[in-house]
Chains A and B, each alone.
Chain A
C-alpha cells in the first residue's frame, strides 16, 4: 500500500506541475485519497471526516493568525509610506553608487521579509526598490534578484514562519528560533555575495527607454510625503520583541501594527486606517491561508496510523542516515523544491516532512533543518512562486532568468543549512 500512496503523491505533484489543480485543492484531494488508501474509516477516531478534514483544517490556525497580522502590518507599511520612504532615503543617500543602493534595497527587503512573505513582501520592497535600482544602473535581473535575496535574508526571522514550523513539526518556538539563527548567516552571506558579485560582474546598465516619460502630466492629487524617521523602525519592532525580548509571536506582531499606526497617523484617522488596512491584509493573506488549511489537512492524513505503517518501511529504506550521505543526497535533491515539486515545503514537502517525523526516520528538528533549508531556495528561485514571478515581471525579465541567476547562491544556502542539520542533529 505504501507504493500506491507514493504513486498517488506523484500524481498529485503532476497535477500541481501541470497546473490542472491549484496547489491547495490538490493537497486536500491528496489527503483524502491517502486517508482512504491507509484504511481510515469515514467517521470516528482516525477517520477521513473527523480527523483529516475536521481536525486537520485548523491545525495551523496560529500560523494563519500570524499571517493575517503580518499582512496587516505589511499593508500599514505600504499605506503610511514607511516602506517607500525607506527605499527613497536609500536612493537619495547612495544613488550614484548602484552597489550601495542595491545593498540598501537588500536591507529593506530583509526587514520586510521578517514581517510578511511571498508577493506582498516583494511588492512592499520592490514597487519602488526595483525601478529605483534600475534607474541608478543596476541591471534588471540583478534588481529583481536583490529584492528576492533580501526577502530570503528576512525569512529565518519571519515570525509567521516560526509559528508554521512550530505547529506543523510539533516543535517549541525556541527550537525553531534556534535553528533559524543558525540558518541566518548563510542567507545573509549568500545575499551579500549575490549583490556584490552580480553588480560587479554585470556592471551598470542605462537604457534610453520609451517608457521613461509619461505623455500626460502627473495629476496634482494629494500624494504621500515621507514617513517620519522614527516610523521607519516599525518593521523591526516585532523582530526586536520576539528575538530580543522573547515575546510571543502574535503580541510582537500586534505591537508592530500599533507602532506603525501611532507614529504615522493622526488620532482621528486611526480607526479608519486600522480597519482599512486590516481588511486589505485579509485579502493579501487569503492565498497563504488557503494553503495552510490544505497543509493542515494533508499533515493529518500522513500522520494517520495506517499511513505511517504503510510508508515507514519504504521511506526508511531510501533515507540516508550517515551525515555525509544526508547532506549530499538532500543537497542534490534541491531542485525538487522548484516548480511546486515534491520537496516544496508549502506543498507536498510538508506532507513528506510529516511522514519523516511520524515514522521516526529523522528527529523532528532535523526535518526542520531540511525544510527550512529548502524554503530558502523556494523563496527566491522558484519560477512559480508568487514573489519570484512578481519581481521578475515587474523588473521586465522572466522568472526563469531570475532563477538561473539566483539558484547557485540559494543552493549554497541550502547546503549550509543541511550541513548544520547533519552536524547538529544527526
Chain B
C-alpha cells in the first residue's frame, strides 16, 4: 500500500457523498444491462419516477424467513431475496462493514444504528411485493416507457433496474434514512478490493 492510497480513497468517498440520490438512481440504471445506449436524460426521468414510486409505497411487513450468513463481501452482496421459499438472506459481514463505514465517514445522522439491517429487510420485502403484488403493473405505468403503439393503445415496457431504484427509495423512506442506501452501496463498493486490483 502506498502512502498516497488512503488519501485518494478518502477523496473518493467524500466525492461520493456529494452525489445526490437521484444521480445514484441514474447510475444504477446506467449500469443495468439493456440501458447501454440510453440517453442520460431519459434515465434521469425514469430514476426520478421510480424513486417517487418507491417512496410513496405504504409500509408492508415481510412474511419471508430471515437467514443471517456471512460471505457477502466475497460475493459483493448485502442482502438477497429468493421467492422459493420466500427467504431474505442478510450478509452479516457486509452489514458490519457498512456500519463501520457509516461511523468512519461521519454519516451516522443519515444512517442511524441498526438502520442498514432494517433497510436491507425493507428493500427485500418490497421486492417480494413488487414481484407478486399489483404494484408491479403500477410501477410500469408510473415509468411511462412505451414500447409499442397500436392506434390509441400503447404497450408499457419494462425498465430493467427501475424496481431496484424503487426498492431503495422505499427502504430510505420507511427506515427514515437521511440518504439513499445507494450512497452506502457505492461507498462499500469503493472500499472493497475489486478483481484485478488485489495485491
Chain A residues within CB distance 8 Å of chain B: 81, 84, 87-89, 91-96, 127-128, 131-132, 135-137, 139, 201-215, 217-218, 220, 223-226, 396
Contacts and interface: CB of A to CB of B under 8 A. Distances in A.
Contacts of A95: 157-160
B191 to A, nearest CB: 10
Nearest to A85: B37
A13 B113 CA distance: 59
Interface in B127-154: 127, 131, 136-137, 140, 145, 147-148
Interface of B: 12, 16, 23-24, 26-28, 30-34, 36-37, 40, 75-84, 94, 120, 123-124, 127, 131, 136-137, 140, 145, 147-148, 155, 157-161, 163-164, 167, 181-182, 185-186, 188-190, 192
A132 B32 CA distance: 8
Q: Which 7 A-B pairs have the closest CB atoms?
A: A95-B158, A203-B84, A203-B83, A92-B157, A131-B33, A206-B127, A210-B76
Contact of A215 (B16, B26, B147): B16
Contacts of A211: 31, 76, 189
Contacts of B160: 91, 95, 132, 135-136
Contact of B80 (A207, A213, A217, A220): A207
B84 A210 contact: no
16 contacts: A91-B34, A93-B157, A96-B136, A128-B33, A128-B34, A132-B160, A207-B81, A208-B78, A208-B80, A208-B124, A208-B181, A210-B94, A212-B31, A212-B32, A215-B189, A217-B23
Nearest to A201: B84
B37 to A, nearest CB: 4
A206 B158 contact: no
Contact of B155 (A84, A93, A218): A93
B158 A212 contact: no
Contact of B185 (A92, A203, A213, A225): A213
A210 B82 contact: no
Contact of B145 (A84, A92, A207, A226): A92
B55 to A, nearest CB: 17
Contacts of B81: 205-207
A89 B158 CA distance: 9
Given A93-B157, A212-B31, A213-B185, 15 more contacts: A89-B147, A91-B34, A94-B158, A96-B137, A96-B140, A96-B158, A135-B32, A203-B84, A206-B81, A208-B78, A208-B123, A208-B124, A215-B186, A217-B27, A224-B37
A135 B30 CA distance: 13
A132 B82 contact: no
A132 B33 contact: yes
A204 B83 contact: yes
Nearest to B32: A135
B136 A206 contact: no
Contact of B158 (A81, A84, A93, A218): A93
A398 B147 CA distance: 36
